[in-house]
Amino acid sequence: MVVANRTEVPIGKVGSSIEILTSADFEPLKQSFLLEALRLVPGFYLRNNGGPGQVFGMTTRGLNTNRPVVLIDGIEVSNPASGEIMNFGTLFLSQIERVEILKGSNSTIYGADALAGVISISTKDGKGEPGSSLNLMAGSHDTVQVGAATWGKSGDWNYRVAVSSYDSEGYSTQPVEFGDAWADDDLYRNVNGSINIGYDISDTSSFHFLGYYVDSKAEYDPGNPDFIFGEPFADNYTLTEQLFGKVGMNCEPRESWASTLSVGYNNTDTFSMSSFPFASQGDRYEADWLNTVHISETYRLVAGLEYEEEEHLSDSGKRDETSLFLENLLNLDSALALTLGGRFDDNSAYGEETTYRGTFSYDLKDTDELALRTRGSFGTSFQAPTFFHLFSSFGNPLVRPESGRGLDLGLEGTVQNGPASFVLTFFDYQIEDKIIYDFARNSFFNQETYKSSGLETMAKVEIHSFLSLQLSHTYVRAEYEDGTEAERVPRNLYSAQLNWQIPEKKLGINLSHYWVGSQYSLRRDREKMPAYGTAHLAVTYAYGDGMDIWLRIDNLFDEEYQEVRDYNTPGISLYSGWNFRF
């Protein structure tokens, strides 16, 4: 695990609450986008105003407006102008190798916006066996997907180039009883391209270049006609174009000192056409110098110096930030591991922030039959106001950063000869000066304290060598200072995944289900949205070494439900695909 401490640490020594997903976890799902894979992560509630590509939001452990930091190969990919999290409905799973999720308050090592954690995405590179791939898919709603990639090595160079395209006529995302203007299908089109180049300078140093391009169009319906923005329009759509990349070098000046220097860039341009046209374009430049020093066999020091500059190109606004952080990693004995760190941020727009955090991991039992450990973390964090909060027509230049603290305590166990494992985690957050929008004031402002606490549980059982089961449950209680229950926070979340792989017959069956409890859509709503559950089935057959064919059924039981009030979700949908590797 790298994301938890900005350097490699064995999973069994990480004190923070973490999740790891790899391509081996994605593959059985046969889903197009990362969005669907993350729905099964404990503590995550993801929602769309319609299907993939529509307005996206997520609640993390009851934090309903606090977005986690999202990194793709170390590049921060949120919209620099609006601060919006990157829509996981635009990221193709076929291009992703690994996702590391760090939960809890982690501004100490990741700065602003890590109050709700970090999602670090690693894409596939060209370091493996050379080859090429072609992926094809077709299905419901006149959906067609095509993806191709090639990768390889030449001397000390390695490379990977990939492109993916998704085109769907979609469905009507809002109830037809709103009127004819809402009854049309809402298409979604998306093209992704990426390039990854690496060069091994020596045994201890390397150079890398990464570049990504995303271009998408999503039609949408304007919302409830009784709402201020709910007026029909001839053609409501959002265009998104994003270009981001990084160049960097890894080296070891000494045997005990590893250093990484990188420079990144992110340009995001969105435009929404409706009765209230809205544009948001921004640039972000970032430079990072990260160092890991092995002081002794039991003590490592991780230190980083960072500089970031953001500019709002479609409106007024520019700011820069310089940051310094230090983290101490201690392995006091074979059972106990500790970390303690601090960070200082100096931002030209909202001033100085100091944060700290500490973690521990302690092995209660480690035998051939059972491994049992406890872990925990406590940290302070902050979430910076975005340009939209500060300078838009709804903005308020007096808005201050949110500040918060987070605590989690966990118990993990693994039955070595079962095999089976379980994770039990208690979490508690408190946020001060929460940024909210007030319709009466028609602007953003800092309000009261916000609290969220709960319990995550997950169990995995390998029933047979080819049959495994994973179950999870998250209970959350989130409320404002006046006792008002938080909006967009289901009290209970359940998920289950059954994976059946039969190597001899080259057959794989995956059945997943998640259930979302009732919730308020807006603060002070009188009625909650009803609970719902939906199931997905995927069947894969491997035909030879270089091809597999598959069939996927989404919403297997044709459940009628809404993730966001007044926005439909698709009924039962059928997709099939062919994957070739050569």
pLDDT digits (tens, 9 = 90+) for 74-133: 999 999 988 888 999 999 999 999 999 999 999 999 998 899 999 999 999 998 889 999
Q: Is the pLDDT of residue 177 over 90?
A: no
What H or E segment, with its residue span, contains residue 208?
Answer: strand 206-219
Assigned domain for 5 exists: no
User: Helix, strand, or coil here: 389?
Assistant: helix
Q: Of the ranges 179-193, 194-208, 352-366, 476-490, which one carries the lowest mean pLDDT score?
A: 179-193
Number of structural domains the chain divides into: 1
Assigned domain for 496 exists: yes
Query: What mean pLDDT do residues 472-484 have?
Result: 94
Rounded Cα distance, 340 and 460, in Å: 31
Q: Of the ranges 226-230, 282-286, 319-323, 493-497, which one carries the lowest mean pLDDT score?
A: 226-230
- Among residues 387, 265, 419, the alpha carbon closest in space to that of 318 is found at 387
The answer to whether 259 and 291 have CB atoms below 8 angstroms apart is: yes
Query: What mean pLDDT do residues 556-574 have?
Result: 92
Residue 464 has a pLDDT of 84
CB environment 508-534: b (16+ within 10 A), e (fewer): bebbbbbbbbebbbeeeeeebbeebeb
User: Helix, strand, or coil here: 568?
Assistant: coil
Among 180-194, 379-393, 421-435, top mean pLDDT goes to 421-435
Task: State the pLDDT confidence band at 438, using cuts at 50, 70 and 90.
Answer: confident
Residue 235 has a pLDDT of 78
Residue 49 has a pLDDT of 83
Query: What mean pLDDT do residues 336-364 have?
Result: 95
- How many angstroms separate the first and last alpha carbons of the chain? 31
Q: Is the pLDDT of residue 229 over 80?
A: no
Q: Of the ranges 111-115, 201-205, 222-226, 492-496, which one carries the lowest mean pLDDT score?
A: 222-226
Distances (CA, A) of 282 to 69, 119, 244, 314, 530: 17, 21, 12, 7, 38
- Rounded to the nearest 10°, the torsion over CA 271, 273, 277, 282 is 0
pLDDT digits (tens, 9 = 90+) for 532-557: 999 999 999 998 778 999 999 999 99
Among 53-62, 263-272, 388-397, 413-422, top mean pLDDT goes to 263-272
Q: Is the pLDDT of residue 516 over 70?
A: yes
Query: What mean pLDDT do residues 8-32 have?
Result: 94
Residue 182 has a pLDDT of 77
Which residue matches tokens 């495994």? 468
Residue 106 has a pLDDT of 94
Residue 452: count of CB within 10 angstroms of its CB: 25
Task: State the pLDDT confidence band at 230, using cuts at 50, 70 and 90.
Answer: low
Residue 354 has a pLDDT of 95
Q: Of the ranges 153-167, 185-199, 273-287, which one carries the lowest mean pLDDT score?
A: 273-287
Which amino acid, residue 95? Q
Is the omega angle on the peptide bond into residue 419 within 30 degrees of 0, that is, cis?
yes
Between residues 209 and 48, the one the model is more confident about:
209
What H or E segment, with its residue span, contains residue 228?
Answer: none
Query: What mean pLDDT do residues 315-329 have?
Result: 92
- Among residues 582, 448, 579, the alpha carbon closest in space to that of 145 is found at 579
**Residue 198, strand partner residues:** 158, 208
Rounded Cα distance, 174 and 186, in Å: 10
Rounded Cα distance, 411 and 247, in Å: 39
Assigned domain for 565 exists: yes
- CA 495 vs. chain centroid, Å, equals 17
Assigned domain for 2 exists: no
Between residues 225 and 23, the one the model is more confident about:
23
Tokens of 86: 């990157």
Phi, psi of 570, deg, nearest 5:
-70, 150
Tokens of 318: 């520019």
Residue 217 has a pLDDT of 95
Rounded Cα distance, 381 and 161, in Å: 37
Assigned domain for 98 exists: yes
Q: Is the pLDDT of residue 321 over 90?
A: yes
Residues 6+ apart with CB under 8 A from 475: 454, 455, 491, 492
**Residue 451, strand partner residues:** 430, 479
- Domain housing 273: 11-581
Rounded Cα distance, 494 and 475, in Å: 9
pTM for the predicted model, two decimal places: 0.95
Rounded Cα distance, 239 and 237, in Å: 7
Between residues 29 and 442, the one the model is more confident about:
29
Assigned domain for 267 exists: yes
Assigned domain for 533 exists: yes
User: Helix, strand, or coil here: 38?
Assistant: helix
Rounded Cα distance, 78 and 72, in Å: 10
pLDDT digits (tens, 9 = 90+) for 458-477: 999 998 888 999 999 999 99
Residue 277 has a pLDDT of 81
pLDDT digits (tens, 9 = 90+) for 371-398: 999 999 999 999 888 888 887 777 888 8
The answer to whether 20 and 1 have CB atoms below 8 angstroms apart is: yes
- How is residue 529 annotated by DSSP? B
Strands 467-480 and 450-464: antiparallel
Assigned domain for 502 exists: yes
User: Helix, strand, or coil here: 176?
Assistant: helix
Rounded Cα distance, 338 and 330, in Å: 5
pLDDT digits (tens, 9 = 90+) for 339-351: 999 999 999 988 8
What helix, strand, coil percent values describe the chain, rounded to 5? 5, 60, 35
Supply angle C-alpha 452, 458, 460, rounded to 5.
Answer: 170
- C-alpha R_g of the chain: 23
The answer to whether 247 and 261 have CB atoms below 8 angstroms apart is: no
Residue 228 has a pLDDT of 62
Residue 491 has a pLDDT of 96
Query: What mean pLDDT do residues 61-75 have?
Result: 92
CATH number at 238 reads 2.40.170.20
Q: Is the pLDDT of residue 440 over 80?
A: no
Residue 67 has a pLDDT of 85
Task: State the pLDDT confidence band at 353, using cuts at 50, 70 and 90.
Answer: very high
Distances (CA, A) of 211 to 32, 199, 243, 248, 305: 21, 15, 8, 12, 23
